[in-house]
Chain A
């Protein structure tokens, strides 16, 4: 038997008075760690159950399942692994106990590195949001004050005076306006809504209908969890020194995340060199990186986010810091003096490799980060072409990189239903015909640009080995020539089926679902 409280010095007792049938009481913001006795078996079991749910969320998001479909699938998974019963006090309190304990176990297991923290935070936030969204407005108005969220209720007179303004906000509760409670919230607590202009703003206060308060509560929750993850990471070594659950915790977080790219520990297998880049861009880079590479060749310059996205990608593929410096310098000094480069950009390059500033070891961006991150503005070349280009530009780009009509249509179809990462997988399949037979693992293609390139390089290695006996040809000698795959796409090639189940009605979903898709 182990006391979980020993994980956190300041643990307070888990409240025992939960239960009853009020649904909003079942949802926790995990402000207090449980003080419980628990067996090792249970410890592992509850944590793995929660992990199932979190992975489900990740999977649904990666496949861009949204709206009602997302809710339905998640509800199913929750019912199986982590239900929050409200039938009677007894089962309610048992379920809540499991929910709380499993959250705190995983919080510890995933506090270890930045990637793990980010992963956990993302999934937990989505889970919390889902649970809040399942509440009715009436339940929500009870949830708010019970969690110490002091949002001022707008008086009926004031509400009536603002009526026309409040109703000209996208997704305003037009039909239920009279019955809807509005809260007056300082603008900096409503960042999400403000950034999307989804709230009425006056004199520094956001006027938020109870239906949209979810976003704000979620933002609060995310901040809280993010902070406690950082705090927990300071205790990680101490906690895992326990010979019984230490190894359990260590293993739990290994369950996800696949390969780490660019952690600089010398395990990056691709070990690319600057001289290889032109040919790699030609045949082994996903669209986003191809674009950055050719922009760099064309303009001899990349703006800030472009440098980061491309620079970290190259780092992830094993480009050493010295090679990186030589490469960027060679590019930039075509339009500026060496002096200017050294003053303005050399710092940046070293910084990416953790050699300056806070000495953080930056990891290359995943597709999710690229797709959800800072969108490119005029003059920018970063981002994900599937997400950030309009159809015309994307289509002509695909023709430019010699994707045949059939494949192109399939790719554009995925993009239309907002399955950007599936579109990218499709691009891989189209340009690596026969990859299945080659036995090369395509894990992570469409999830991480580095996985894309890695798989492609492996593919070409295999192919070269197959073609010329055991001799493997050094990649990237030929510039301008397209080795391997042949110039024109052959229309007769068998198109491999999309690997993951396609979320058919997603994105185009009915009513509420479609209008909720952020307009950005």
Chain B
């Protein structure tokens, strides 16, 4: 029901949302930026080298071109319905560039890989965003009457950013990140990836480091690309567990019995909660009195007093404390059971089980920026683009090895350039025949992009093409 009133005009909101695609992103600076090793990480010159020698145009084109096969919603058996190839498919995709001095250009589009390459090299965008496939090439959007220019399809995307964890993370805040708080992203990827695959049946999922303090996710299955805005909102809401705003203190609401997807998430997250959240090496929720004070504020008064007194004496580890807390809550819960039965469901205090889910989820469950997911037309930073503030490349993350991913080892433009130099110095003359990508760490990431994403995607595309040919054959021989 909540969306009923908005059905008729959702197209409008989409346009507005799209226009604001860049609002929260930091302004681009054009001067040099240095990374941890204090050497230059980003500059217009480095960017020029990157676009000339390292950016994987070919792979990006293969992905976004989908071999000219538009998305088609699967039928009731789950098989995509036959569609025709569209020779100009890639050219209907919107790109937007943020170029020097913060100038933002929307509605860029390119006929093919060659033009894509030329334009990127000509305009030297500090930031590249990817938008939707439209009814016609976006550069013509003003030439048609309003309404004729509409988004048609778009990957389902998710944006998870560490700044949305500021009310729980204790190590850093704002744009700053460290290895401790990066574990929030690790947990988010693990939960989302499994959910998208098992619950929604998606297969073609690409995770990307956003270049600074978050991750992006692109789902390229037919069913995902063909989703309406409403459908996208539903998927995002399905993963929306941590809610609330600055005027609501409660951030998580779990009802019992717990949904199977949340139970599965809890099983993944509780051990990680014990490892990354409560420990001193992690967020210190149960190792530091000032932090556990906040947690104890959410439990009944007598439980709080008992534990505060006990914990003051010291001697117990964070894991012990968690166990004690759970135990005390359960004791309390048994006592309260009788009382609660007499209350209206809405007034009942959370059961110990609920409380436990809520605490763990508040600290570990993925926090999505749902507005990015909801609009087909929302722009999102391209994989392999560069973050101008850090100079780091937005490299893919392999979800199967997400725990090993370390954002601080992601190469900067400066490092990549030095890798090329080093290779050339060491190998002398024969380096001419070696492509620049293969001289750098980019090789690994491009390879990973192919292996974990493109290969599977193209397998699906081949099946779609074969089905279509078969169907045509069946029709033509059938008269």
Q: Does any Cβ of A come within 8 Å of B306's Cβ?
A: no
The answer to whether A222 and B4 touch across the interface, beta carbons within 8 angstroms, is: yes
Q: Does any Cβ of A come within 8 Å of B293's Cβ?
A: no
User: Which A residues touch B179, using CB under 8 A?
Assistant: none
Q: Does any Cβ of B come within 8 Å of A195's Cβ?
A: yes
A186-B74, A201-B261 as given contacts; A343 in contact with B104, CB under 8 Å: yes
A168-B259, A194-B234, A194-B238 as given contacts; A351 in contact with B248, CB under 8 Å: no
Give residues 340-363 of A contacting B (CB, 8 Å).
340, 343-345, 347-348, 351-352, 356-360, 362
Closest Cβ of chain B to A351, distance in Å, is 6
User: Which A residues touch B8, using CB under 8 A?
Assistant: 114, 117-118, 121, 226, 229-230
Bound complex: CA A192 to CA B228 (Å)? 13
The answer to whether A369 and B247 touch across the interface, beta carbons within 8 angstroms, is: no
Proximity string of chain B (450-463) to chain A, C-beta cutoff 8 Å, 1 when within and 0 when not: 00000000000000
The answer to whether A308 and B16 touch across the interface, beta carbons within 8 angstroms, is: yes
User: Which B residues touch A377, using CB under 8 A?
Assistant: 243-245, 370
Closest Cβ of chain B to A327, distance in Å, is 18
The answer to whether B263 and A304 touch across the interface, beta carbons within 8 angstroms, is: no
The answer to whether A378 and B245 touch across the interface, beta carbons within 8 angstroms, is: yes
Closest Cβ of chain B to A74, distance in Å, is 15
The answer to whether A170 and B5 touch across the interface, beta carbons within 8 angstroms, is: no
Q: Does any Cβ of B come within 8 Å of A196's Cβ?
A: yes
The answer to whether B76 and A304 touch across the interface, beta carbons within 8 angstroms, is: no
User: Which B residues touch A347, using CB under 8 A?
Assistant: 19
User: Which B residues touch A380, using CB under 8 A?
Assistant: 245-246
Closest Cβ of chain A to B104, distance in Å, is 5
A186-B78, A194-B234 as given contacts; A304 in contact with B146, CB under 8 Å: no
Contact of B246 among A196, A357, A378, A515 (CB under 8 A): A378
The answer to whether B7 and A191 touch across the interface, beta carbons within 8 angstroms, is: no
The answer to whether A518 and B2 touch across the interface, beta carbons within 8 angstroms, is: yes
Q: Does any Cβ of B come within 8 Å of A81's Cβ?
A: no
A150-B76, A168-B259 as given contacts; A191 in contact with B230, CB under 8 Å: yes
The answer to whether A348 and B16 touch across the interface, beta carbons within 8 angstroms, is: yes
The answer to whether B5 and A122 touch across the interface, beta carbons within 8 angstroms, is: yes
Closest Cβ of chain B to A209, distance in Å, is 15
User: Which A residues touch B234, using CB under 8 A?
Assistant: 191-192, 194-195
Stretch in A135-143, A383-391, A429-437, A472-480 touching the partner? A383-391
Give the number of residue pairs across the A-B interface with Cβ within 8 Å. 204
Bound complex: CA A48 to CA B253 (Å)? 44
Give residues 1-40 of B contacting A (CB, 8 Å).
1-9, 11-13, 15-17, 19-20, 22-24, 27
Contact of B23 among A117, A122, A304 (CB under 8 A): A304
User: Which A residues touch B344, using CB under 8 A?
Assistant: 508, 514
The answer to whether B260 and A168 touch across the interface, beta carbons within 8 angstroms, is: yes
The answer to whether B4 and A122 touch across the interface, beta carbons within 8 angstroms, is: yes
The answer to whether A388 and B146 touch across the interface, beta carbons within 8 angstroms, is: no
Stretch in B185-193, B195-203, B466-474 touching the partner? B195-203
Q: Does any Cβ of A come within 8 Å of B237's Cβ?
A: yes
The answer to whether A194 and B7 touch across the interface, beta carbons within 8 angstroms, is: no
The answer to whether A369 and B5 touch across the interface, beta carbons within 8 angstroms, is: yes
Contact of A197 among B12, B248, B259 (CB under 8 A): B259
Bound complex: CA A394 to CA B246 (Å)? 12
- Identity of the chain B residue whose Cβ is nearest the Cβ of A368 in the assembled complex: B5
Q: Does any Cβ of A come within 8 Å of B290's Cβ?
A: no
Bound complex: CA A150 to CA B227 (Å)? 19
Closest Cβ of chain B to A362, distance in Å, is 7
A204-B78, A226-B8, A369-B5 as given contacts; A348 in contact with B249, CB under 8 Å: no
Proximity string of chain A (156-197) to chain B, C-beta cutoff 8 Å, 1 when within and 0 when not: 000000000101111000000000000000111001101111
The answer to whether A197 and B9 touch across the interface, beta carbons within 8 angstroms, is: no
User: Which A residues touch B149, using CB under 8 A?
Assistant: 358
Bound complex: CA A305 to CA B260 (Å)? 32
A194-B235, A348-B19, A385-B247 as given contacts; A358 in contact with B261, CB under 8 Å: no
A187-B200, A340-B27 as given contacts; A393 in contact with B235, CB under 8 Å: no
The answer to whether A201 and B200 touch across the interface, beta carbons within 8 angstroms, is: yes
User: Which A residues touch B9, using CB under 8 A?
Assistant: 114, 118, 360
- Identity of the chain B residue whose Cβ is nearest the Cβ of A357 in the assembled complex: B15
The answer to whether B146 and A360 touch across the interface, beta carbons within 8 angstroms, is: yes
The answer to whether A339 and B167 touch across the interface, beta carbons within 8 angstroms, is: no
Closest Cβ of chain A to B353, distance in Å, is 12
- Identity of the chain B residue whose Cβ is nearest the Cβ of A174 in the assembled complex: B257
Q: Does any Cβ of B come within 8 Å of A205's Cβ?
A: yes
Give residues 480-520 of A contacting B (CB, 8 Å).
508, 514-515, 518-520
Closest Cβ of chain A to B286, distance in Å, is 24
Bound complex: CA A359 to CA B146 (Å)? 7
Give residues 118-161 of A contacting B (CB, 8 Å).
118, 121-122, 125-126, 150-152
The answer to whether B247 and A390 touch across the interface, beta carbons within 8 angstroms, is: yes
User: Which A residues touch B5, using CB under 8 A?
Assistant: 118, 122, 366, 368-369, 372-373
- Identity of the chain A residue whose Cβ is nearest the Cβ of B230 in the assembled complex: A191
Proximity string of chain B (31-65) to chain A, C-beta cutoff 8 Å, 1 when within and 0 when not: 00000000000000000000000000000000000
The answer to whether A195 and B1 touch across the interface, beta carbons within 8 angstroms, is: no
The answer to whether B346 and A514 touch across the interface, beta carbons within 8 angstroms, is: yes
Give residues 103-136 of B contacting A (CB, 8 Å).
103-104
User: Which B residues touch A165, using CB under 8 A?
Assistant: 260
A375-B245, A378-B246 as given contacts; A520 in contact with B2, CB under 8 Å: yes
User: Which A residues touch B7, using CB under 8 A?
Assistant: 118, 121, 222-223, 226
Q: Does any Cβ of B come within 8 Å of A376's Cβ?
A: yes
**Can you list 6 residue pairs at the A/B interface with Cβ under 8 Å?**
A169-B260, A204-B200, A204-B202, A308-B16, A351-B19, A352-B16
Closest 8 CB pairs of A and B: A204-B201, A195-B237, A195-B234, A191-B234, A168-B257, A376-B245, A203-B201, A393-B247
A residues in contact (CB < 8 Å) with B? 114, 117-118, 121-122, 125-126, 150-152, 165, 167-170, 186-188, 191-192, 194-197, 200-205, 222-223, 226, 229-230, 303-305, 308, 339-340, 343-345, 347-348, 351-352, 356-360, 362, 366, 368-369, 372-381, 383, 385, 388-390, 392-394, 397, 508, 514-515, 518-520
| Known A230-B8, A368-B5; 15 more pairs at CB < 8 Å | A118-B6, A118-B7, A121-B7, A191-B234, A192-B1, A195-B235, A195-B238, A343-B103, A344-B20, A372-B5, A375-B245, A378-B245, A380-B246, A388-B245, A388-B247
